[in-house]
Amino acid sequence: MSAAPGKAQRGHELHQLGVAALAQRLAAREVSSVEVTQHFLARIEAQQNLGAFLALDAEVSLAQAHAADARLAAGERAPLLGVPLAHKDVFVTRDFPTTAGSKMLANYRSPFDATVVSNLAAAGTVTLGKLNCDEFAMGSANENSAYSPVRNPWDISRVPGGSSGGSAAAVAAGLVPAATGTDTGGSIRQPASLCGITGIKPTYGRCSRYGMVAFASSLDQAGPMAASALDCALLLSSMAGPDPDRDSTSLDLPVVDYATNLIAACARSDWASGLKGLRIGLPKQFFGAGCAADVLAAVRAALAEFERLGAELVEVDLPLTELSIPVYYVIAPAEASSNLSRFDGVRYGHRAASYSNLNDMYRNSRSEGFGDEVTRRIMIGTYVLSHGYYDAYYLKAQKIRRLIAEDFQKAFTQCDIIAGPVSPTVAWKLGEKSGDPVASYLADIYTLSSSLAGLPGMSLPAGFGAHRMPVGLQLIGNYFQEAQLLGAAHRFQLATDWHLRTPEAAA
């Protein structure tokens, strides 16, 4: 493989170890969870210029680390026991404030943990803090946070992607070994691509949405972000699972031990055959003029590596891809308008200090609490749901959404996995698109359609493009095929070292 910018992780510093390697050292008692936690807390303190964290509490984190060390000393062994991570600030937590990146929820403390948070805590992870994000997860650049923009550790003058930009930047910079994220229209995959890490959005319903501050309820899905597919597999195994009593949309499917499956596959005699027999579909709509030449070059080189490993590349058709943007920006704002209506200053959210009557209180509280992008989407959503426009916009968008899902099912009769770029460009400059919301919306053209269909998808590092910035390869699977996606990504990462490349900030 040709040389690339950055440096490979060959050192033995704790922050250069992935989740799997760190877990092995913890299990072998070569290092304590307290030592690891202190190491990462020091790194976070030293790199506050990235704006990745919104909340820290060293006392809470170290108490969790001491508890993990006690479990390890007692002989307990679990894949994530003692491993530190951080949560996107849309997951409610008892021990840390939850703001969803908004002034509307400034200083809010939840009386309970989100299911994803409690599942990972039960697995023995240590929470380092809460990660910055676009306000209420609305954005593609992480410039919509009410507190500060997040900066890309490969070039701090550029965006990390959004809305899970704090999560992606923190992992890429070596501030955390892994993080949780949420993906509504690409908010795990796009920042993972722009920051050069691995992230997976599972099938809609695979992870419980209970305790996740809602943006668009029929689209929001939690997922892990880490350096490698193996690390993501370890996290997803603990994050996922049915939650019927608290989330009616959670899938009634048993938890899959994705990481053990990957490790077992490595030990089988047929592993040497690589990806022989795997059909990878390439939608012609993903490889057109709308994608930058440098991104296409990196993606095609990665696909050539898959072909070398035995996969077969076939062309498929997703004819309604270009309609995914207008469909998404009708459905998602409509659901956001409904979900955010509770934040009116009466029972929930910020209440204005000055007002003369009830309507004035509503208006002032919401004007002060919500930022421009959230306000814009609430207005769009309210409009498309209003009398006389529901049938013309919202209902029609839902019908096209069904057709988009059917297009994917037709494509999967010809292939096993669909591949292409994650983003049409590498990370852009901070402020470059902030005055043009539509330009930001177009950055999600390759991720929206699979989100509308509820399919699993992931981004894995595939090279570098213009300005020496990372490029991600997107893999999309059929429903419930996370194991297949992770397996293909893991094989690719065993044969390449793009996922080992790190910015100078992670040195």
Identify the active-site residue in 102, 163, 164, 434: 163
Q: Tokens standing for 393? A: 């916009």
| Count of Cβ atoms closer than 10 Å to residue 443 Cβ | 24
Question: Quick one: which of 55, 67, 63, 65 has its CA closest to 22?
Answer: 65
Question: Quick one: which of 4, 1, 18, 128 has its CA closest to 506?
Answer: 18
Question: Quick one: which of 16, 416, 363, 286 has its CA closest to 176?
Answer: 16
| C-alpha neighbours within 13 Å on the C-beta side of residue 417 | 29
Identify the active-site residue in 33, 61, 88, 208: 88
Asked if 101 and 136 touch (Cβ cutoff 8 Å), the reply is yes
What is the C-alpha to C-alpha distance for residues 499 and 486, in angstroms, rounded to an integer?
14
Asked if 278 and 310 touch (Cβ cutoff 8 Å), the reply is yes
What is the C-alpha to C-alpha distance for residues 139 and 355, in angstroms, rounded to an integer?
30
Question: Quick one: which of 378, 413, 401, 403 has its CA closest to 448?
Answer: 401
126 pairs with which residues across the strands?
A: 84
Range list of H helices, 228-289 = 229-239, 258-267
Beta-strand (E) ranges in 140-256? 178-183, 198-201, 221-226
> Which residue do the tokens 């697995």 mark?
123
Asked if 437 and 458 touch (Cβ cutoff 8 Å), the reply is no
The values of phi and psi at residue 276, to 5°, are: -60, 130
| Cis preceding linkage at 163, omega within 30 | yes
Tell me whether residue 187 is one of the annotated catalytic residues: yes
Identify the active-site residue in 33, 118, 187, 193: 187
In the three-class reduction of DSSP (H, G, I as helix; E, B as strand; rest coil), residue 303 is classed as helix
The values of phi and psi at residue 416, to 5°, are: -100, -35
Question: Residue 472: which residues within 8 A CB-CB, separation 6 or more?
Answer: 189, 192, 193, 194, 196, 421, 422, 423, 459, 460, 461, 462
| Count of Cβ atoms closer than 10 Å to residue 121 Cβ | 19
Cα Rg, the chain, nearest whole Å: 21
Tell me whether residue 163 is one of the annotated catalytic residues: yes
The catalytic residues are: 88, 163, 187
